[in-house]
Each structure stands twice: as C-alpha cells, then as structure tokens.
Structure 1
Amino acid sequence: MQKIRYAVVGAGWISQEAFMPAVPQTDNSQMTAIITGNEEAAAKLSNFYDIPHRFTYDRYDEALQSGLFDAVYIALPNHLHADYTIRALKRGIHALVEKPLASSIAECEAMIAAADESGARLMTAYRLHCEPGTVEAIRLVSSGAIGEPRFFHGIFCDQMGSANHRLKAGAWGGPLPDMGVYCVNAARHLFGTEPVEAVAMGSRGDDPRFREIKEIDSAILRFPGGGLASFTASFNGAAVDTYRIVGTEGDLEMRPGLRFETPTRMTLRRGKEVTETEFADIDHFGAQTAYFSDCILQGKASESDGAEGLADMYALLAIEEAARTGRAQTITSPPRPHHPHAGMVRMVDRTERRLLL
C-alpha cells in the first residue's frame, strides 16, 4: 500500500507520547523526517523510529523543498501554528495541525486560503472525530435518542508541569485553548449547530505557575433554540475528563470522554432504561493519521478541515473576550455542512513502544 510520508514538526511531549508511536501502527503512513530545535533529542528519536532525516527549525524551508515528505504534523506552541503551516501548504505539503488551529481568526483564514490556493490538504487534529465512542454519541443525539438536547456540561482538567509552554501567555497558553477546546467541539457537534453567544469567567489562586495565564476557565455557550453548554477547564485539578448532555427524554454521559490514553465509556439513560457501553481501545492519534492519509491518497478534503478549526476559534475567542470584559459576547460562525461520522473512524491498535525524553 502507498504510504503518506510525514515530517514531525515539534518533537515535544505530545509527539513523543502520542503521535510518533502511533504512526507505525497505521498501514498508510510513515515518518521520514523530524524538524525540531533539539538536535540531541532528534537523533535519539530518529534512531528509535528509524526516521532517516533530521532538520533544525532554521532549515525548515530547506526541508520543505527537499521532497522527503508529503505532509507535516504541526505540534508546536499555538502561536507558531499558522506560520509553519502556511509555509508548508504553499509548497504543496499537506498539514495535520494540532488544536487550536491557530491563535486568531485571521491566522485561521490565512491557513485555509493557503490550502485552497495550493491544493494541499489541511486538517485540524481532532482525534476524537476518528474515535468510535465520540462518533456514536453524536449519532445517538442527532437521531433523537435523548429527545431534544437542552443542556451540556463538560469538565476537563489535569495538573500542568511548571516548565510547560502552555503556561505562557505569549504562546496563547492556558486551559481554555488547550483543554476547553475539546468541550467546545463536543458541544457544537452534539447540538449539531454553532453557538451564538458566550459568557465566561476565569480565575487563579496564588500558585506561581499561573502568573501569566488563568488557572481555571469556565464558560456557558448559548445555542440556537435555547440550548446551553457549560464547561470548566483547569490546569490545577485532578485528572477528570467527562461530559454529559441532557435532553427532553434522556441523557448521555461520556466518562471518560476526552483524553487519548483510555477508551471512551458511555452511559445512555432514557427513563428507567440504562445502557452502558465501553468502546474499543484504539489509538486516537493513529486513527486520525490513518484517516488524513486516506484523504490525501483519495484526493478528498478532510471533514475536520481548516474551517472546522476556525469554527472552534470563533467560540474560543468569544469566551476569552467575555471573561476579559465580564460581558456576554455574540458569536457569528457559519454553520458546518457536516459532523463527525462513522466513515471517519479508523480502528488502529495501541502500542506501548515509545521513547520519552
């Protein structure tokens, strides 16, 4: 089978923990280059995964012209996503970009335009769109399994190490773009429409980790028809990842529902009937990579495209502004033509083979 060749751009924790172990688990993708500022780490990782080529960031344009890879996986701090993605797309190199897609509406639009102009594919790395539990939750709600959905609540939190770039305001760090984006994305697809208003509040205690960013972000989104979605994201809480959507005739809960390390579990309640489902323990990063490679090989756009990343950006920035000003913010986002579906799911096995430096 033909394989799409990837360059890993940013060989930090998420690449080492999740993306790089996953790629060899697919049958249509391989890594042929690493682009990072840590040459020692690049040497060790390339040896471990048998990746033949290494480049430093100052040689990125040289790498893009080398013909050594077909696509890039962008796992850089948020404020660098747009620059590195646009440079790749303009060279006809496809781009799989971590969430959030960028740090402004203008950057997202520029990334989408670069993909449209070059014909290269752009996908926002929504791994859960290729995971069976998430897709089944969306299908059930849209099919009326809980009646009309009325409100959603999500919690996503964990502890963040003091040296992590996600604690830097200049990198658009903080729990909202890093963890809150998952709740926003889940709510949008479960309601099947785009939010129209946001209210929000953030807070911090006296922990020195949070000098530049909020410790906790909480928000409420209003959807057409009066549905409400609330969530809390934190960098200073026990590891919790769950959401629940309540409808007029039942409710659906995912616990866990957002992390990549564990299989998703669903509880569907409708009157006295309760159904528990644990979904297949697949590799989320392998699934999204296999799906994106299939899109490239088949010459079709990813359904988690740049516009999908832009849709979340409208909500995230409105939430940020609502928290800053203390005033409700209107959200104007065009409707999405589709939602995650079973055709996007890829059953890729997990592996314990990884190198963490």
Structure 2
Amino acid sequence: MALEEYFSDFTDRDWERESPEGRVRMAVVGIGGFARERALPGIQDGTYCETTVLVTGSPGSTAEVAGEYGIDHVVGYDAFLAGEKREAYDAVYVAAPNALHGEYAVAAAEAGKHVICEKPLETSVAEAREVVSACDDAGVTLMTAYRLQCEPTVRRTRDLLADGVVGDVVQVHGGFSNPLLDHASPDTWRLDPDLAGGGALVDLGVYPLNTVRYLLDCDPDSVYASTISTDPAFEAVDEHVAFQLEFPTGTTASCTASFNAHASSQLELVGTDGRVRIASAFGGVVPHEMIVESGEMRMEHAGEPVDEVREEFDYFGYCVLTGTDPEPDGRDGLADLRAIKAAYDAAERGERVSL
C-alpha cells in the first residue's frame, strides 16, 4: 500500500461497522477537573452516550454543572452505592481517585451496569482483578479508559506497523511531562500514594506504556526503572521516572514521565526500514502531526485535531450498543498494572525485573 493511502481517510472510525440506534445513559462518578473540562463535553458532543446522573461528594456545588449540561440527577457517593437513581443510567464512568475505582466499578457491575473506568484500573493488581471478575460475573462491558487507542494518529500508526511499513520495530522512545502543581493544589490526591497508587509513572508514564503495548500488540517480558523526587512537594510519590521495557520480539522501549517539567510529549518508533514520529502524542487534544519514513520515502502529515475523549466515549457506547468487546478491556488495564508494579520493584531494587 502506498503511504498516501494511510492518510486518505485519516479520521475514519475503522471500529464503526454499523449504526446502532439509541444512546447509553451514563452516570459520571467523580466530578473533578477532567470530568468537568473534558469528559462531560466529550460525552455531550458524541453520538452514542449521554450523561443522566452525576455522582459527587458535593451535590450542592455540582448543581451548576448539572444545569450547564442539562443533567437531571445529582447524587452523593453513599447514595450511589445504595442504589439511588439506579434506574436513570445504563453505564458508569468512574473518574474518582484511583484507590476508589474498584469500589464504584464493582458496585456498578453488581447492579448490572456497564463500566468505563479511568486508568489505572485500580492501585494494585489484586484489586484490579476483582473489578475484572465482577464485570465478567455480571456479564457487563468493562473498558479501561485508554483514550489514545481511539485516537486516529495512534490507530493509523498501528496500521503502518502491522503492514511492515517501517520493518521490524527495534526502538521506541516515548516521553510525557506535565507540571502538576501549575494546575493543581498542593493537597491534590495525586500526591497521596494511598489514593493515587504512585506518582508520575502511574499518572503520566502509563500513557507511553499502554500506547507502546497497543502499537506493538505485545506485552513486555522485563522492565527496568528509576525514580527521582527532589522537590519536597513530591516527597511521597515519584516526581520523575525513567523506565525501559524489553519485549520478546527484541524491541526495546525507553520511556520517561515527569510531574515537574515543562509540558511535553512525544513518541517515536524506529524500525529496520523506517520510522514513525508523532508530535504531542499524549497531550490531550492531539494534533495530527506525524512523520513517516519508509526506505527512501518520507511523508509528513498534519491535520485538524480530534477530541480523543469524545472518540473514547463514542467507542464505549458503540461497544455497549452492539455487544462488541472493547480492545482496552479490563485485562488491558491489568497488564499495565503488572508492568507498573514491576517498574516500581525494579526502581527499589536497582535491577531489571522479569514479568
């Protein structure tokens, strides 16, 4: 296939094979900054989901948000767990702090509701496994919210790699940094290891980790990592992390993440016959800017960005409505948690850890 053909229908939803009717009614659990600024607008702008219930620790102060989006029901966390307004939603989006994911996801599954849960699925492999088991037992859809798997630039890159356009992938370089305290208060739950389960690795490093696994369609068999925290604000969690993944194919991925560096992200895959580089791969609304080299050929592509959050919720809604199993399922979330645990073990022991 000529390189141009990979970009002719760049933003086509290759997962959308039919046009189901109806919408999935969503209860959004946890109305923090991301839910307000990205998730609620993404759901509203999409095709297959609608928000009908907000679940929050501050129902009174959330009334304005509910009014803005025309949402009829606002309930507290305890009321949600007790089953209040259960008839008003079909699925739950869990956006509470990481250590609370399992509690709300399991409660939703036991009520027969489908679940899309923010990453990481939980703060430990054992607790994440409970989420997967609960959804399996209830027969409901479980999707880990890896929105990059729904983003066109990443999906076209996977096509390029699968077709051997760059040959065998030998090296991957990924990095994601975001100055946390520029937009969060010093008492943010992300700096509490009990609530977050870790620092920069869990919150930012999981993006290159999951994206590389997705693109290579392969899990790493060993990991080496180092963590650094020099600013007192990050005393309890990793401020910076560097980790290296080795895959059974011989591919090596070198990744970095930081809570205290200039906002930046990039992803490059180097193969035996070429390379793919994605600009701002992990930064939110991703610009479609990428470079592909294959032998003597070189192509640069730039296009309008797509809201990957909208794509993510439409993909989830489509899967629920059509009975399709999502690719970023619960087991995908489990695989990342195993790698994250191994990375922290490697950093503590100062040696490579096998998976």
Using structure 1 for the length normalisation, give the TM-score.
Answer: 0.89
Residue pair 1:132, 1:280 contacting (<8 A) in 2 also: no
Partner of residue 175, structure 1: 200
Partner of residue 96, structure 2: 76
| 1:297 corresponds to 2:321 | yes
Residue pair 1:322, 1:328 contacting (<8 A) in 2 also: yes
Partner of residue 114, structure 1: 134
Deviations 1:178-230 (A, max 9, x none): 1111111122123221100011100011x222111111011001101321101
Deviations 1:291-325 (A, max 9, x none): 11111111222121111111111111111111111
CA distance in 1 between counterparts of 2:173 and 2:209 reads: 10
Match of 2:57 among 29, 37, 41: 37
Partner of residue 323, structure 1: 347
Taking only the aligned residue pairs, the percentage that are identical comes to 34
CA distance in 2 between counterparts of 1:66 and 1:314 reads: 33
Letter in 1 for 2:113: I
Q: For residues 225-264 of structure 1, what are the structure 2 equivalents within 5 Å?
A: 225-264=249-288
Residue pair 2:75, 2:84 contacting (<8 A) in 1 also: no
Letter in 1 for 2:176: F
Letter in 1 for 2:130: A
Letter in 2 for 1:228: T
CA distance in 1 between counterparts of 2:108 and 2:288 reads: 34
- Structure 2 gaps of 5+ residues are 1-20
Q: For residues 74-113 of structure 1, what are the structure 2 equivalents within 5 Å?
A: 74-113=94-133
Residue pair 2:222, 2:247 contacting (<8 A) in 1 also: yes
| 1:218 corresponds to 2:242 | yes
Partner of residue 218, structure 2: 193
**CA deviation after TM superposition for structure 1 residue 245, in Å:** 0.8
Residue pair 2:149, 2:214 contacting (<8 A) in 1 also: no
| 1:308 corresponds to 2:328 | no
Residue pair 1:97, 1:123 contacting (<8 A) in 2 also: yes
CA distance in 2 between counterparts of 1:137 and 1:58 reads: 43
Match of 1:155 among 170, 175, 180: 175
**CA deviation after TM superposition for structure 1 residue 261, in Å:** 2.5
Compared CA separation, residues 99 and 264, structure 1 to 2 (3 A): farther
Partner of residue 340, structure 1: none
Partner of residue 355, structure 1: none
CA distance in 1 between counterparts of 2:198 and 2:54 reads: 24
**CA deviation after TM superposition for structure 1 residue 270, in Å:** 2.7
Match of 1:46 among 66, 80, 87: 66
Aligned-partner SS, 1:288: helix
Aligned-partner SS, 2:238: coil
CA distance in 2 between counterparts of 1:41 and 1:217 reads: 36
Letter in 2 for 1:51: I
**CA deviation after TM superposition for structure 1 residue 65, in Å:** 6.1
**CA deviation after TM superposition for structure 1 residue 271, in Å:** 4.0
**CA deviation after TM superposition for structure 1 residue 283, in Å:** 1.4
Aligned-partner SS, 2:61: helix
Deviations 1:27-78 (A, max 9, x none): 2211111101122331111011110001111212234663110011100111
- Structure 1 gaps of 5+ residues are 332-357
CA distance in 2 between counterparts of 1:41 and 1:303 reads: 36
Letter in 1 for 2:55: I
Letter in 1 for 2:272: T
CA distance in 1 between counterparts of 2:61 and 2:265 reads: 31
